[in-house]
Structure 1
Amino acid sequence: MTSLVRKATLGRLTLPCDVSSADRGLVVATGPAEHLNRKGVERGRQWLEDETGSMEIRGGDYPLSDRDEVGAIVLLSGVTDVPRVDQLQEVAIEAQETAETVQANSQDEFASLLDTGGEIDALF
């Protein structure tokens, strides 16, 4: 069970992150009830506790009688070191700066369209 928790944590996260930055976590073992060992689930939970440095890791099982394989699900919360989020924040900052530049330029260009330099009389 510990190896399943390790694989779920280190190799198959939906959002790659630094596991040690998590505040809390949950480990759930799934599969046929006869293959779910409470000690194994506890060892997997303890391993995740050691990896995160958090004492707030919960563990449990979810027996599935119609399945032939055993699996582990890991949920982390309060994760602070996520490279993908950092990249998205950088892109958002660039987009905001670009939008501000475009808006400033369009206002200047609009003003230059209205400024006739006294060459054309206003119609209204």
Structure 2
Amino acid sequence: MTVESTETTEQVSGVILTDAAAAKAKDLLEQEGRDDLALRVAVQPGGCSGLIYQLYFDEREMDGDLVQDFNGLQVRVDRTSAPYLAGATIDFVDTIEKQGFTIDNPNATGTCACGDSFN
């Protein structure tokens, strides 16, 4: 299933990628010198609360992937992770307190104290 997006606020299903997150991911891809990779967002078992997020660049497109385009950046979510990530907003923050990608997930019922895992 492919969902096209030019604005981050119009997503009904799938993930929402802010402009800051898309720009940072594109910058990282440019540094790698690769234009054949997509940002993969997945949920895996692990962490204190039971599930952890994984964000990484991937050249594979798996059967059943939800593929979204954010201004030229492809984002892929596997079919197992998709229900956990529906409506989740991925942002990139760069402040004195914190730097990195953040995920605001309306499906998470709780998180661990360190904030690295959810349930």
Q: TM-score scaled to structure 1, two decimals?
A: 0.23
Q: TM-score scaled to structure 2, two decimals?
A: 0.24
The structure with the larger Rg is 1
User: As a proportion of its length, which structure holds more helix?
Assistant: 1
User: As a proportion of its length, which structure holds more strand?
Assistant: 2
